[in-house]
Amino acid sequence: MTARDGGQRTAGGSWSRRGVLAGLVAAPVLLLAACNDNADSGSGGSGSGGASGTPGPGGSGAPRTSAAVITVTPADGATGASFSEPVKVTVTGGTLGTVKVTDSTGKELAGQLSADGTGWTSATAPASGTKYTVAATALDKDKLEADANAVFTTATPANTFVGYFTPEDGSTVGVGMPVSINFSKPISDRKAVQQAITVTAEPGVEIVGHWFSSTRLDFRPQQYWAKGTKVTLKLRLKDVEGAKGVYGTQSKDVSFTIGRAQTSVADLAAKKLTVTTDGQVSAVYKISGGAPDHTTWGGKMVISEQYTQTRMNSQTVNLGSEYDIADVPHAQRLTTSGTFIHGNYWSSPSIFGGQNTSHGCVGLQDAKGAQDSGTDGYKFYKSSMIGDVVEVVNSGDKTVAPDNGLNGWNLGWADWKAGSAV
């Protein structure tokens, strides 16, 4: 083909270069026209604000948006939100569908939908110092759905209290062991705190709490526990306002078991200790109690601590320098004020069963070093456990105060129940 033939189609039906270029230029115009045709077809997208939308009538126009508007309290992004008020979700222009509130572990906060479907309120307040996520949906009258998502974090209280409890979790104790809780801060709302604590037993028995002071709450049944009873303490004190601006921190379960049934009676007139185990007298020991000028408390006293050996110094009980014994054997505490039942190696054997010579404790004959298994002090100690009851009679002194140690058994049942806040 010569140069002057470039604009003509050849005999074989092919096109000249100018014709090919013309075809390439025309093609994009057709493609653009096709794209423009699709854009005018009327298909719609999602509405704003999390609300679902649908096209207008006839498949054209702006998307329709749900009229339902959801509000979450605390608001999205809130930090330091209240942990004493419930979470609330409300809707205007519609009714709520689903509401889900979860903490960072995935645990849901249960709640209740109002009868008209326009509000949801959590059954309890959220926990302090916790991040929560809220997801809610609603429908308007045209069944268009709206949704809302929020994340908030609750405040952490600046002033808190805890309850120090006895006995220990998993322990086996005697039939006289109460549940005793000492609070780290004075409690003014005793009802709120006591309602957050439950004590149950298997087999079941009525258990009542008694406030000895603003910092001490004990629980016990009317009579000593039955042997083999399993007792469970449930502390649900977290975020409970025990005093103005002072909140609990604990959510804990504690269980203990009652062992064999053993009680002892220390008759200081007869100067003998009679031990009864599971309904049968298991031992009788000679003892020596408080001298006439240092009489022993009377009443029912619960063993609260045990020491194979311990130091006893008269200055700690306001008796000056009358004694200081570094290695008192087999000592078991009966009162907070310093009454023990313990072994005695320094006195003449003749006083046991014959004379009351102590400064208020109950003594049994024992050996220095606490290793002689043949002594009465050793035997009684080995047969005892925390929670056993030692009742002192004929001591010449008044009954021990019920809050002096774990000794609430010295209150009658009516008086004990009168000390409950619920």
* Distances 298 to 113, 234, 363, 402 between C-alpha atoms, Å: 60, 33, 15, 11
Closest CA to 301 of 180, 395, 404: 404
- Determine the pLDDT at residue 412: 97
Taking only the tens place, the pLDDT of each residue in 50-67 is 455 555 554 556 678 999
* Choice among 24-28, 205-209, 218-222 with the minimum mean pLDDT: 24-28
In this structure, the answer to whether residues 234 and 203 fall within a common structural domain is yes
Q: Quick check: 407 and 335 in contact, CB under 8 A?
A: yes
Contact 317, 404 (CB under 8 A): no
Range 101-117 average pLDDT: 96
* Claim to verify: residue 210 and residue 249 sit in the same structural domain: yes
Environment class of 253 (CB within 10 Å of its CB; exposed 0-12, middle 13-18, buried 19+)? exposed
**Across 332-351, average pLDDT:** 96
Tokens, residue 135:
């997801």
In a domain, 415, yes or no: no
The residue to which tokens 């053993």 are assigned? 262
Q: What is the mean pLDDT of residues 375-380?
A: 98
- Report pLDDT for 323: 77
**Has residue 34 got a pLDDT over 70?**
no
With beta carbons less than 8 A apart as the criterion, state whether 145 and 51 touch.
yes
303 and 368 in a common domain: yes
Q: What is the pLDDT of residues 282-326, one digit of tens each?
A: 999 999 999 999 999 999 999 999 999 999 888 777 787 777 899
Give the pLDDT confidence score for residue 63 in this predicted structure: 74
Question: How high is the pLDDT of residue 17?
Answer: 37
| Residue 323 structural domain | 262-405
Residue 360 has pLDDT above 50, yes or no: yes
Residue 237 lies in a domain: yes
270 shares its domain with 398 = yes
What is the pLDDT averaged over residues 404-411?
98
pLDDT beyond 80 at 137: yes
Would you say the pTM of this structure is higher than 0.75?
Answer: yes
Q: What is the pLDDT of residue 174?
A: 98
Residue 267 CA to residue 271 CA, distance in Å, equals 6
Same domain, 334 and 386: yes
Question: Which among 124, 153, 182 is the end of a domain?
Answer: 153
Domain-located, residue 59: no
242 inside domain: yes
Query: Residue 92 and residue 82: Cα distance in Å, rounded?
Result: 24
Residues with catalytic roles: 342, 361
338 band by pLDDT with thresholds 50, 70 and 90: very high
Q: Are residues 288 and 368 both part of a single domain?
A: yes
CATH of the domain at 335: 2.40.440.10
Percent of the chain with pLDDT over 70: 85
299 lies in the same domain as 286 = yes
**Inside any domain, residue 291:** yes
Exposure class string for 83-116: b at 16+ Cβ within 10 A, else e: beebbebbbebbbbbebebeeeeeeebebebeee
364 & 341 share domain: yes
Rounded CA separation 349/347 (Å): 6
Is 41 part of any domain? Answer: no
Indicate the average pLDDT of the chain.
88
Q: What is the CATH number of the domain that holds 124?
A: 2.60.40.3780
CATH code: domain of residue 199? 2.60.40.3710
What's the longest Cα–Cα distance across the chain?
A: 149
Same domain, 323 and 282: yes
Residue type, 70: I
Residue 42 has what pLDDT? 36
| 38 within a domain of the structure (yes/no) | no
Q: How confident is the model at residue 205 (pLDDT cuts 50, 70, 90)?
A: very high
Residue percentage of the chain with pLDDT more than 90: 81
Q: What is the per-residue pLDDT for 53? A: 54
Region 332-354: mean pLDDT is 96
- Are 267 and 250 in the same domain? no
How much is the average pLDDT of 335-362? 96
Assess whether 194 and 313 both reside in one domain. Answer: no
* Same-domain check for residues 92 and 223: no
In a domain, 90, yes or no: yes
Number of domains, the chain: 3
pLDDT for position 314: 81
Beta bridge partners of 220: 208
Average pLDDT for residues 394-403, to the nearest whole number? Answer: 97
